[in-house]
Structure 1
Amino acid sequence: MKKLLFSLTILSTIFVGCSTDDDETTIQPIEGELTGSITTNRTIAFGNYTLNGIVTIESGVTVTFDAGSTITANATNGVDAIVVKNGGKLIMNGTASQPIVLTEPSATPGSWGGIIMYGDAPINGAGGVTTKTSEDGLNLPYGGTNAAHNGGTLRYVRVEYAGKKITDGTSEMNGFSFYSVGSGTTLDHLVSYKGADDGFEFYGGTVSATNLISYGNFDDSFDWQDGWKGQNNSNWYAYQVGTGNFGMEIEASNNNNAYWPVITNITLKRATGTVTEGGSSAAEYDAIQFKKQGNGDFSNVLISGYTTAGSTAVRIQDAGTNTDQVNANKIKLTTVKILDGTSQYLGAGALTVSFPAGQYTTSDAATGASITSGTWATVNGTNLIQ
Structure 2
Amino acid sequence: MKKLLLSALAIGALAFTSCTNDDEPPIAEVVATCNDGIQNQGETGVDCGGPNCQPCTEATATCEDGIQNGDETGVDVGGSCADIITVSGEITADTTWTADNIYLLAGKVVVGVGKTLTIEPGTIIKGKAGSGSLASALIVQRGSKIMAVGTAEKPIIFTAEEDNIGIGQTAGTNLDETARGKWGGLIVLGRATGSFKNDVTEVQIEGIPADDTFGLYGPGDALNDDDNSGELEYISIRHGGALIGEGNEINGLTLGSVGRGTKINHIEVVGNVDDGIEFFGGTVDASNLVVWAQGDDALDIDQAYSGTIDNALVVSGEASDHAFEIDGPEGSTTGSFTLQNTTIVGSSTAADGEYADYRSNAMGTTKNIYAIGFQTGKDVELDANDVAQNFLDGKLTFEAWQIVGFNNSIFAEKVLKDDAGNDLQSTIILDPTFTERAATWTTQVTAGAQTVGADLSVFTWTYAYAKTGLSF
TM-score w.r.t. length of structure 1:
0.83
2:430 counterpart of 1:351: no
Name the residue aligned to 2:454.
369
The one of 117, 132, 146 aligned to 2:188: 117
Q: Comparing 253-262 with 93-102, which one deviates more in the overlay? A: 253-262
Q: Out of 334-343 and 190-199, give the one that drifted further.
A: 334-343
What is aligned with 1:43? Answer: 96
Aligned to 1:332: 397
Q: What RMSD, in angstroms, separates the aligned Cα atoms of the two structures?
A: 2.9
Greater displacement, 127-136 / 263-272: 127-136
Are the counterparts in 2 of residues 268 and 302 from structure 1 also a CA contact under 8 Å?
yes
- C-alpha distance in structure 2 between counterparts of 1:86 and 1:33, whole Å: 24
Larger CA deviation: 361-370 vs 97-106: 361-370
In the alignment, what sits opposite 2:257? 180
SS at match of 2:388: helix
After TM superposition, give the deviation of residue 205 of structure 1 in Å: 0.7
Moved more, 71-80 or 249-258: 249-258
2:127 maps to 73
Number of the residue aligned with 1:206: 283
Q: Which amino acid aligns with 1:62?
A: T
What SS is found at the alignment partner of 1:327?
helix
Are positions 1:100 and 2:162 aligned together? no
Aligned to 2:335: 259
Work out the CA distance in 1 between the residues paired with 2:262 and 2:2.
Answer: 34
Flag the 1:86–1:13 CA change in 2: closer, same or farther, 3 A: farther
Q: Secondary structure at the match of 1:156?
A: strand
1:377 and 1:81 mapped to 2: Cα distance?
21
Answer yes or no: is the 8 Å Cα contact 2:185–2:240 preserved in 1. Answer: yes
Which among 191, 195, 198 is matched to residue 272 of structure 2? 195
**Aligned equivalent of 1:169:** 246
Could you tell me whether the CA contact under 8 Å between 1:234 and 1:265 is conserved in 2?
yes
1:293 aligns with 2:361: yes
The answer to whether the 8 A contact 2:338-2:365 is kept is yes
The CA deviation at 1:51 is 1.7
Aligned to 2:140: 84
Deviation string, structure 1 residues 292-326 (Cα, Å, up to 9, x no partner): 111211221111233243x21x2110122111x10
> 5+ unaligned residues in a row in structure 1: which ranges?
1-7, 16-25, 277-284
User: What aligned pairs does 1:239-318 form with structure 2 within 5 A after superposition?
Assistant: 239-254=315-330, 259-276=335-352, 285-309=353-377, 311-312=378-379, 314-318=380-384
- Verify: 1:320 aligned to 2:397, yes or no: no
Aligned-pair CA distance for 1:346: 4.6
Name the residue aligned to 1:150.
228
Q: Which structure shows the bigger proportion of residues in strand conformation?
A: 1
* 217-226 vs 263-272, greater mean Cα deviation: 263-272
How far apart, CA to CA, are the structure 1 residues paired with 2:323 and 2:283? Answer: 21
Q: Distance in 1 between matches of 2:235 and 2:442?
A: 34
- Rounded to whole Å, the distance in 2 between the matches of 1:102 and 1:350 is 47
Match of 1:33 in 2: 86
Provide the C-alpha distance between the structure 1 equivalents of 2:90 and 2:354, rounded to a whole number of angstroms: 41
Answer 1 or 2: which has greater helix percent: 2
Aligned length: 354
C-alpha distance in structure 2 between counterparts of 1:12 and 1:117, whole Å: 42
1:273 deviates by: 1.1
Change (3 A) 1:161 1:186: same
Q: Is the 8 A contact 1:174 1:200 kept in 2?
A: yes
Residue identity opposite 2:224 in structure 1: N
Q: Deviations over 1:248-289 (max 9, x none)?
A: 00011455765311122011111211223xxxxxxxx42111
Give the drift of 1:332. Answer: 1.8
In structure 2, how many angstroms separate the alpha carbons of the residues matched to 1:206 and 1:133? 18
**Shift of residue 204, structure 1, vs aligned partner:** 0.6
Asked if the contact 1:300–1:336 (Cα under 8 Å) also holds between the matched residues in 2, the reply is yes
Residue of structure 2 in register with 1:279 after alignment:
none
Shift of 1:52: 1.3
Summarize the Cα distance change of 1:9–1:301 in structure 2 as closer, same or farther, 3 Å threshold: farther
Question: Are the counterparts in 2 of residues 13 and 29 from structure 1 also a CA contact under 8 Å?
Answer: no
Q: CA separation in 2, counterparts of 1:249 and 1:27?
A: 43
CA distance in 1, matches of 2:199, 2:382: 22
Question: Structure 2: 5+ residue runs without aligned partners?
Answer: 4-59, 65-78, 164-174, 416-431
- Structure 2: how far apart are the matches of 1:240 and 1:347? 25
Q: What are the Cα deviations for residues 109-134 of structure 1, in whole angstroms up to 9, with x where unaligned?
A: 11221100111111011343332222
Percent of aligned pairs sharing the same letter:
25
Q: Which one scores higher on RCO, CA 8 angstroms, separation ≥ 6?
A: 1
Q: Structure 1 residues 256, 297: CA separation in 2 closer, same or farther (over 3 Å shift)?
A: farther
Give the C-alpha shift of residue 76 in structure 1: 5.0
Contact 2:195–2:334 under 8 Å retained in 1: no
- Provide the secondary structure at the position in 2 that maps to 1:352: strand
Q: Would the aligned equivalents of 1:111 and 1:164 in 2 still touch at CA under 8 Å?
A: yes
Check 1:91–1:353 CA distance in 2 against 1; reply closer, same or farther (3 A cut): farther
- After superposition, the Cα gap between the structure-2 partners of 1:353 and 1:224, relative to the gap in structure 1 and judged at 3 Å, is farther
Could you tell me whether the CA contact under 8 Å between 2:412 and 2:439 is conserved in 1?
no
